């Protein structure tokens, strides 16, 4: 299959692209080199042009930032909402029938929390684009070595063993989960073709990786 991925240099993406590249014709779009065999680099506003002439089957986004890292809410929204949706629309125009998105546990377009509300709106917008299949992964606290410092997530990783004990049952969806598991789950889901919109929380993500 012909796949396109954004977010390949992030915590999940850098573990995902090697899995995809082993089995498929993968194109990575990004702002900096990922190490993938085939990639096109440029600023986010050039990604649409970089897809020109491509034919796709599946598109995947692991792109994500934080308000602090982005510098402002507008800059954060430019990455987590506008860039992701622009990529999804372009991928659909290039023939992609299947879209995979990393979102967040608790995402809800009606949430009072601005972050969760934005994530929910992105989910809804992608589900409405007309893909035959959409897989939305909603992990809890992501575990793994990041290239940038995120204080809250660093603290979460320290207390992760306690969180795993406390966050059980219905609360499991908010528990810490290793980014590598998400990468494996996405690689597995990319192979599926049953139509519909599917949301996967921690429990489903672990099941996909047989963990």
| Residues 150-161 pLDDT 10s | 555 554 454 545
Contact by Cβ (8 Å): 102, 61: yes
Q: How far is residue 182's CA from residue 110's CA, in Å, rounded to a whole number?
A: 26
pLDDT in tens, 19-54: 999 999 999 999 999 999 999 999 999 999 999 999
The model's confidence at residue 120, banded by pLDDT at 50, 70 and 90, is very high
Domains delineated in the chain: 2-140+178-208 (3.40.50.720)
Q: How far is residue 116's CA from residue 45's CA, in Å, rounded to a whole number?
A: 25
Contact by Cβ (8 Å): 30, 41: yes
pLDDT in tens, 67-96: 788 889 999 999 999 999 999 999 999 999
In the prediction, which pLDDT does 210 show?
A: 78
Phi, psi of 68 (to 5 degrees): -65, -45
In the prediction, which pLDDT does 170 show?
A: 61
Residue whose C-alpha is closest to residue 125's, from 93, 89, 168: 89
- Per DSSP, what are the bridge partners of residue 28? 5, 39
Whether the model pTM is above 0.85: yes
Q: How far is residue 158's CA from residue 177's CA, in Å, rounded to a whole number?
A: 13
The model's confidence at residue 145, banded by pLDDT at 50, 70 and 90, is low
């Amino acid at each position: 299959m012909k796949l396109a991925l954004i977010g390949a240099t992030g915590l999940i993406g850098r573990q995902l692209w090697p899995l995809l590249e082993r089995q498929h014709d993968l194109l990575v779009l990004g702002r900096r080199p990922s190490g993938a065999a085939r990639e096109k680099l440029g600023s986010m506003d050039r990604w649409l042009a970089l897809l020109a002439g491509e034919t796709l089957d599946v598109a995947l986004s692991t792109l994500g930032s934080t308000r602090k890292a982005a510098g402002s809410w507008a800059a954060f929204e430019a990455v987590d909402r506008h860039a992701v949706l622009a990529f999804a629309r372009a991928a659909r125009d290039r023939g992609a029938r299947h879209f995979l998105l990393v979102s967040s546990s608790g995402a809800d377009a009606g949430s009072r929390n601005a972050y969760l509300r934005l994530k929910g709106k992105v989910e809804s917008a992608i589900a409405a684009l007309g893909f035959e299949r959409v897989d939305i992964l909603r992990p809890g606290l992501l575990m793994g070595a990041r290239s940038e410092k995120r204080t809250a997530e660093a603290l979460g990783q320290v207390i992760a063993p306690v969180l795993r004990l406390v966050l059980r049952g219905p609360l499991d969806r908010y528990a810490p989960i290793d980014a590598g598991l998400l990468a494996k789950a996405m690689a597995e889901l990319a192979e599926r073709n049953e139509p519909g919109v599917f949301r996967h929380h921690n429990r489903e993500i672990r099941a996909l990786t047989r963990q």
